[in-house]
Structures are given as structure tokens and as C-alpha cells.
A and B are shown apart, each in its own frame.
Chain A
Amino acid sequence: MAKPEWMKEAPKPISSILIANRGEIACRIIRACQEMEIEAIAIQSASDEGALHTELADKVVTLLGDSLAETYLNGEAIIDAAKSCGADAIHPGYGFLSERAEFAKSVTSSGLIWIGPSPEAIDSMGDKVTARRRMEEASVPVIPGREILIGIDEDSTIDSLVDAATSVGYPLLLKASAGGGGKGMRIVREPKRLQQEFLAAQREAESAFGDGTVYVERLLENSRHIEVQILADNFGNTVHLFERECSIQRRHQKVVEEAPSPILDEETRSAMGKAAVSAAKEVAYSGAGTVEFLLSSDGSFFFLEMNTRLQVEHPVTECISGVDLVEQQIRVSSGLPLPFSQNDLSIRGHAIEVRIYAEDPSKGFLPATGPLAVFIPPEGPGVRLDTGVRQGDEARIDFDPMLAKLIVHGSNRGQAIRRMERALRTFVILGATTNIDFLIDIMQHESFISGDTTTNFIDLHFSDGWLSPQTELSVAVLAASAEQLGLHRNHLSSSTEESGRTTSNDPFLIISRSFP
């Protein structure tokens, strides 16, 4: 088979990639592979058999065992699978092994191409404590914070914790050094809860990342979460693809993301972009990465962390920049230079992403489970769905509760918001509770519409929690009618129903209808 055009100049051609992930991001990467004529190999745990990503892939390898450690976190088995399938490269997606330098190292030393930055870059950025030190060296501003020394016994550790907390001051944030996604992170507002929250954060970090190291950082309230996407090749070219604003979060997990930020002026945008490029250059970064900043209300910004991988919310950047980030990751890893420079990049329009979670916003966002008995995604101009599930699947508790990401692109922010609301209203998911109705309320919220989005948005505007709208009379009548009609019993053979408007097989009946 002839090589695809893009690969002809590549020093290290990639014609087969094993995707060491699952869910929507595995599907996203498989689709990029298909467009680049690269063979895509999926992995699955036994419980994921038949999942969407395994259906889209060209090949599937089943990893034995039930636990994450035996499957999606099992680096050795994944490398073996890649080798036995003849893969050239491994793409880690996000989460799982994507930020484990050890894994990146093993991939490279086994003769495979690692689609990501060097293990050294992952190490210095992945460990948040080291990253803070490196950024201070590169003159990128960091949030005031302190490390906690793990003593020989619990008492001396607690002493160090209390010391660190006292010097940073309250309210403060306990953060897992290996962390991300809000796991192993705790807000502490008063000293009496410090120890308890520390132990919980440590435990959560230990179970999620296998590393219980926790540090203390000043909690900057009313700040905005703004992150800059960067791309770097192996020839010293590093560009930024502007910012994303991800201020709307619950439990420190992002819910709504947009690009560009509704409030950033050109000057701050360019200063942040430059800081992000410096941060990346400091660690000789290669591939796609994200530098996160907190923007405080006085306009100053602080380095928060760098995510050395593809980000969940990367699609909004793809919309406004016109750059396919996964394609660029693969090209860079095959030794090609970036095909554009900073001056070639500009912002077009506005994009918004919402994360569709299986959770109950009216019960403190508790995870929900259930069958996705009906799953009808929205369609239309400027609408993109990155999903890991389809109708007939089930929302389960063994993985993250995120089912899908819905992304819209409009010519300006107002149009994007209206488009998102329209799309959400036509997204039908029956069988498992989701946050869709809550997201509609956010799209309609005047503070969101005016761009007034700080990280405490949900706590501030939904301080008493969120109430689902009261069941309408129409809904009760619909349910009673559906029950009476026995729709649950005969929905597979509805064309044989006697009553009402059923499709007839007689074509002349259709012809006699008038069409607009």
C-alpha cells in the first residue's frame, strides 16, 4: 500500500498506532488515525468489551484482569500488545499513563515511538512540586505555596503540614503533587479541618495516582482558570494556540470550557502566550501541551501547572485555530516540523465545550448510573460531539462519569451560546441522569452570558444546589399515555399498531400527503 502523502517526508514514519486509552478520547484519536491512513489499535479491559472505541479501531487487544492496574494502567502489557500487533507508536490520550515518565521511557526503550513530550519534560512538569521550582527559574510567576515534608512518623508529618499551612495562610488548597482532575485536592478554610482533609487528599491521591504526595497552595478565590495551548516540534519551534477559559467547575472538575476567553485583552493574551511558550521551552517540550494559569481579579496571572498531554477540552482550540491537534501530535512525533509559525495563527470565531456527565446535579452532582436506553445527539451547523458511548451502552461507576463532550463553534460568543443551548435541548439521553438540564441553565445564566465566569461560579450562583424543574402536567400525561399505550412492550413492532398515525407500507398513502 502506498504511503499517505503526509508521511513521505517524515524521518520516522508512523503507520500504526496503539491507543493506550478508552472512551471518547480513544475514539477521537482513532478518527485522526483514520484520516491520516494510520492503522489504529485499541486496548480494552474485559468489562469494556464492545465499547465504542473498540468498534472503531482496526484491531483490539484485550488486557486480562478487572482492575485498572491490570488493564489501562498496565504499561508492560500495553507495550507487549503494541509490539505483538506491529504498532509503530503509542498514543496515551489523557489520564491513565499519559503523564507517567516511566511509561514514556519504557515505550521509547522498547523501540516504539512515544506520542508525547520527553520523559524528562513529563517528569519536571508532571510533578507539580518540581514544576513550581522550574517555573520560578524561568521567571514564570507561580502561586504562593509550600511543600509538606513526610516525617518518619505521622506526628512529624502533621507538624510539617501545620507549618506549611500556617505560612501559606487560609483558605488554602491541599493538592496532590501527581494530581489532576480535582482528585486528591481539598479546600481547607479553617485549621481544625486541616488534618482530616489532608488524610483524605492523601488517600485519594494514593488510590488515583499511586503517589500520595500532597502540598499546600494559597487558594486564590474569584480567580479565573485560563490555560494556553502550546505546540512544539523537535526543531526548536514552539507556538501557542491561544487560550481556553475553563472557569466553570464543580468539585474542581471542569464543566464548561470556551475559547477564546470572554475577558482577556490582547495585551494579557499575548503576555500569557509568551509565558506559556517560555514554560514549554524551559523543559524542551515537544508535541501538544497546556500551560494552566490562574488570572486573578487584578489582572495578574500565575502558573498553575502544565499538562504534558492532550487536554480534554482541546476541541475548542481546534475550532478557533483550525488546527487538528492530534494530527500535529502525530506529525511531530514522526519527526516533522510544525507546518506553521506563530504569525500564521489567528482566532476565528468562538467555541464552547460542555462535558456531559452521568451525574445528578440536584443531588450534589453525585455520579449516576443506568442504561443509555435512548441516546440521540444533537446535529446541525457548528456542532461537534466527541463521545465514548452510544445508544445501548450503560453509564457505569468503574470509570469517570463523563459520557461525552459537546462542542459548538460560532462566529462570535453570543452565537456560540445560543447554539449550545439549542444543541443541549435536542440532546436526548434517557435511562441515566445527566447534567444536560443543568448545563442549559448555565447557558441561560446572565453571568455566563456576560462572561462573568470565575472558578466559584457554581458555588456562587447555585449556592443552594440546583433544582430540577418541577414535573409538568404535560410530562405526567405523556408518561401515563406511554404506560397506557404499552409503548415499553411493543416499541420494536410499532408499525403494526392499529391506532393513530402509524406508517403504512402503502406508498400511495404517503404520496397523497402534501409536502412543504
Chain B
Amino acid sequence: MVNLRDSEGRNWLIQIGGSPLVPISIELDGEKIELENISILPDSRSNRIIIKKNGIEKIAFCAKIGDKWWIHFDGNVSSVEVIEPGASDVGGNEGAFSAPMPGKVLEVLIPVGAKVSEGQPLMVLEAMKMEHRILADRQGVVSAIHYSPGDQVDAGSVLLDLESDKSN
């Protein structure tokens, strides 16, 4: 059984078996979905895998980086994350607001305790010589700020904690 999370945050639970490999059961966000006539064959060249769908074979390209499988299939690329059994849910930290990219903090636009509305600029980051505004994705109260102007941040670094505004 393989548990995956796609880029839309949907959860896939897929059981694969047999020779050639075929999906035995597929659940998407807890709901069983209909099996298609698919089988999977390995390929001798690295980073390739063959998918046979309705009798037609196509090559897909794949590579695993960290927990993510990157798949190039039919002209498009997708990445899906493998969720190891027992691992905690996304980020594990609901109120945290993290950096979408690595860069340098140029400005912090709000103080701790500020009430912010959705879309309000919170910080200015610089990456690749361009400035990027970090916007609040929801309304809330800033309970902590973890970086100051001049600090370097990595993608995913928690910039500040944004708690849901209970008074609303």
C-alpha cells in the first residue's frame, strides 16, 4: 500500500500488485475509485517506467527527490509526495506561515500582535535580485515573527506564526 499526496493536497491510497504490476485498489481522499485498465512495466533505462493503458504503452519519466516522486507523463510534469506510514500530517504546524522560496528578508511589514487580513503584505523577501511580497493567505493575528531584515531563509522556513482570529 502506497500513500501519496498530490500537489492539490489530495490523498491517494494505492495498492499495487501482481506481475505485471496492476493497481488492485485505489482510494482518493478516502473514497474508492474505479480501476482503469492500467498496468505498469519497468524499463531497463534509468528514470523510466512504462505504463500500458487500454493496450497502449507509453513511457513516463520518474525521479524521486526527498519524499517526492516527479513524474513526466504525456507531456506534463507532476510531483507527488510519498507519505511514510506514521508520519505526521502536512507541516504539523497549522498556524505557521512559511517561506515559499529561499531568499533574504528585506522588510517585516507588521509587528507581533498585528491583526492581518487575507492578502495583506507581511514581509518582503528578495530572491534572484527581485523583491517578492509575502501575503497573508488568511486573516489572523501574528503571534510570533521568527526573522528580521537581513536574515537568509530557506524554502519552507517558518517566517511567522499566524493564529486564527478568535474574536471574529
Chain A residues in contact with chain B, CB under 8 A?
A: 182-183, 200, 203-204, 207-208, 251, 362-363, 366-371, 373-374, 376, 397-401, 424-426, 428-431, 433-434, 436-437, 440, 468-485, 487-488, 491-492, 494-495, 497, 499-503
A431 to B42, CA, bound (A): 21
The A-B contact count (CB < 8 A) is 198
- Shortest CB-to-CB span from B43 to chain A, Å, is 7
Let me know if B51 and A373 touch, CB within 8 A. no
Let me know if B128 and A401 touch, CB within 8 A. yes
Which of A369, A398, A431, A503 makes the CB contact (< 8 A) with B44?
A503
A471 with B78: in contact, given A200-B131, A428-B72 (CB under 8 Å)?
A: yes
A475 to B53, CA, bound (A): 12
Let me know if B82 and A397 touch, CB within 8 A. no
- Shortest CB-to-CB span from A155 to chain B, Å, is 21
Q: B110 at interface (Cβ–Cβ under 8 A)?
A: no
Q: B115 at interface (Cβ–Cβ under 8 A)?
A: no
- Of B18-26, B87-95, B138-146, B158-166, which stretch is located at the interface? B18-26
Interface pairs (27), CB distance under 8 Å: A183-B129, A207-B126, A369-B102, A373-B63, A400-B128, A430-B47, A430-B63, A434-B77, A440-B75, A471-B6, A473-B26, A473-B36, A475-B80, A476-B26, A477-B23, A477-B40, A478-B40, A478-B62, A478-B73, A479-B4, A481-B40, A484-B16, A491-B46, A491-B47, A494-B46, A497-B44, A500-B41
Q: B112 at interface (Cβ–Cβ under 8 A)?
A: no
Let me know if A429 and B77 touch, CB within 8 A. yes
Q: Which 4 A-B pairs have the closest CB atoms?
A: A425-B75, A488-B64, A471-B6, A430-B70
Digitize B96-135: 1 where CB-to-A-CB distance is under 8 Å, 0 elsewhere.
0000111100100000000000000000101111111000
B residues in contact with A424, CB < 8 Å: 75
Let me know if B101 and A431 touch, CB within 8 A. no
Let me know if B62 and A501 touch, CB within 8 A. no
A430 to B64, CA, bound (A): 9
Given contacts A469-B76, A471-B6, 16 further A-B contacts (CB under 8 A): A183-B130, A373-B47, A431-B65, A431-B70, A474-B73, A474-B74, A476-B4, A477-B51, A478-B62, A478-B73, A479-B2, A482-B71, A483-B4, A484-B2, A500-B19, A503-B44
Let me know if B44 and A487 touch, CB within 8 A. no
Which of B33, B40, B131 makes the CB contact (< 8 A) with A204?
B131
A residues in contact with B19, CB < 8 Å: 499-500
Q: B50 at interface (Cβ–Cβ under 8 A)?
A: yes
A500 with B20: in contact, given A476-B14, A487-B64, A491-B47 (CB under 8 Å)?
A: yes
- Residue of chain B at shortest CB distance from A470: B8
- Shortest CB-to-CB span from B150 to chain A, Å, is 13
Let me know if B42 and A494 touch, CB within 8 A. yes
A494 with B44: in contact, given A367-B128, A425-B75, A471-B8 (CB under 8 Å)?
A: yes
- Residue of chain A at shortest CB distance from B99: A366
Q: B167 at interface (Cβ–Cβ under 8 A)?
A: no
A residues in contact with B40, CB < 8 Å: 477-478, 481, 485
Let me know if A430 and B26 touch, CB within 8 A. no
- Shortest CB-to-CB span from B39 to chain A, Å, is 9
Which of A399, A400, A477 makes the CB contact (< 8 A) with B38?
A477
B residues in contact with A204, CB < 8 Å: 129-131
A477 to B61, CA, bound (A): 13
B residues in contact with A480, CB < 8 Å: 2, 4, 12, 14, 16, 23
A residues in contact with B80, CB < 8 Å: 471, 475-476, 479
B residues in contact with A369, CB < 8 Å: 101-102, 155
A368 with B51: in contact, given A183-B129, A473-B36, A478-B40 (CB under 8 Å)?
A: no
A residues in contact with B70, CB < 8 Å: 373-374, 430-431
Q: B136 at interface (Cβ–Cβ under 8 A)?
A: no
A residues in contact with B36, CB < 8 Å: 473-474
- Residue of chain A at shortest CB distance from B80: A479
A residues in contact with B131, CB < 8 Å: 200, 203-204
Q: B7 at interface (Cβ–Cβ under 8 A)?
A: yes
Let me know if A437 and B76 touch, CB within 8 A. yes
B residues in contact with A479, CB < 8 Å: 2, 4, 62, 69, 71, 80, 82
Let me know if B65 and A373 touch, CB within 8 A. yes
Let me know if A475 and B42 touch, CB within 8 A. no
Let me know if A374 and B73 touch, CB within 8 A. no
A17 to B4, CA, bound (A): 52
Let me know if A475 and B73 touch, CB within 8 A. yes
A318 to B4, CA, bound (A): 46
Let me know if B44 and A501 touch, CB within 8 A. yes
